[in-house]
């Protein structure tokens, strides 16, 4: 078993879905029903161009990686429930395409 396929955290994924609003326009939102999954979640350190705001406006960011057998592509409206709190996916997925055995996606999440 590869370390890319392990996870220790139980999460619920609310994937992005397309819906019609009252005017007939297509909008995206987080699904009302969640899907249970396991994931590897690790803290992210702040990069050179990122910083925590001063005072009470700090935010926590984590890296989330699903096992490769879960074929869930998460969009911008996807939400995650982890330890009873809602988290949102932000930014695009990081794709690792080195080889078929090591290819995977990593996402950044922050508290909702």
Q: Mean pLDDT, to the nearest integer, of 40-55?
A: 67
Hey, where are the domains in the chain? 3-46+58-111
pLDDT, residue 73, reads 73
Tell me what the mean pLDDT of segment 43-60 comes to.
63
> Which helix (H) or strand (E) is 43 found in, with range?
strand 35-43
Provide CB contacts within 8 A for 103, sequence distance 6+: 68, 95, 96, 97
Q: What is the pLDDT of residue 41?
A: 92
Domain 3-46+58-111 classification at class level: mainly beta
pLDDT tens-digit map of 69-111? 777 778 889 999 999 999 999 888 888 887 877 788 889 999 8
The upper half-sphere exposure of residue 73, i.e. CA atoms within 13 Å in the direction of its Cβ, equals 5
């Amino acid at each position: 078993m590869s370390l890319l396929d392990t996870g220790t955290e139980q999460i619920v994924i609310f994937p992005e879905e397309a819906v019609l609003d009252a005017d007939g326009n297509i909008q995206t939102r987080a699904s009302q029903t969640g899907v249970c999954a396991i994931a590897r979640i690790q803290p992210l350190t702040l990069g050179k161009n990122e910083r925590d705001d001063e005072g009470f406006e700090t935010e926590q960011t984590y890296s989330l990686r699903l096992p490769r057998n879960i074929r869930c592509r998460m969009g911008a409206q996807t939400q995650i429930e982890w330890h009873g709190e809602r988290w949102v996916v932000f930014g695009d997925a990081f794709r690792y395409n080195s080889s078929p055995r090591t290819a995977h996606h990593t996402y950044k999440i922050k508290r909702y």
